[in-house]
Amino acid sequence: MENASARNLWGDFLDAHLEFASQEAPKVIHFCDNEKDANECADLVCKETKRATTHSLKGLQLRNEKLPKIGDFYVVTDWNGNAKCVIRTTAVKLIPYFSIREEHARKEGEGDKSLEYWKKTHWDYYTRELTQLGSRPTESMIVVFEEFEMLYKK
């Protein structure tokens, strides 16, 4: 782990949770593609308001990233790389974009937690993400709905 802040937080987490001492170092992540949203999402995760995130399957594939899996650990940082908390994936579902419902939006915990807010912000994000990768979002695209639990924070 190159990020010193994340390495320190992971070490503190392991000191408090020796049962995970054999785990490999987690991936260090921030949410979103801009500072304001990344910082807001990190705060929502630490408050346990945000308990899920949704990736575009096509984006993951085009970047050659692995699908998240149950049990994956992550150190969540703000935009500037300051470690905020440790999370662990508890569920992963592949869902067509058009099948996302209010319950999904509530678990993501962003904005007013409505489906309308979720669809607007995620469509805008997927458009930016996929355009950079030479593609575009569609209503029928598959999204990866990842639920997680916040295990430790500073």
Task: State the Cα–Cα distance between residues 154 and 46, nearest whole angstrom.
Answer: 9
As a whole number, mean pLDDT of residues 57-76 equals: 97
Residue type for 133, please? L
Query: What confidence tens digit (pLDDT) does each residue in 13-52 have?
Result: 999 999 999 999 999 999 999 999 999 999 999 999 999 9
As a whole number, mean pLDDT of residues 69-74 equals: 98
Q: What is the pTM of this model?
A: 0.94
**Alpha carbon 153 to its chain's center:** 16
Tokens found for residue 99: 């099948």
Query: What confidence tens digit (pLDDT) does each residue in 96-154 have?
Result: 999 999 999 999 999 999 999 999 999 999 999 999 999 999 999 999 999 999 999 98
Nearest to residue 97, comparing CAs of 134, 40, 59?
59
Domain around 47: 4-153
Q: What is the number of structural domains in the chain?
A: 1
Task: State the Cα–Cα distance between residues 82 and 76, nearest whole angstrom.
Answer: 8
Distances (CA, A) of 6 to 13, 93, 111: 10, 27, 27
C-alpha R_g of the chain:
15
Q: In CATH, what number is assigned to the domain containing residue 128?
A: 3.10.400.10
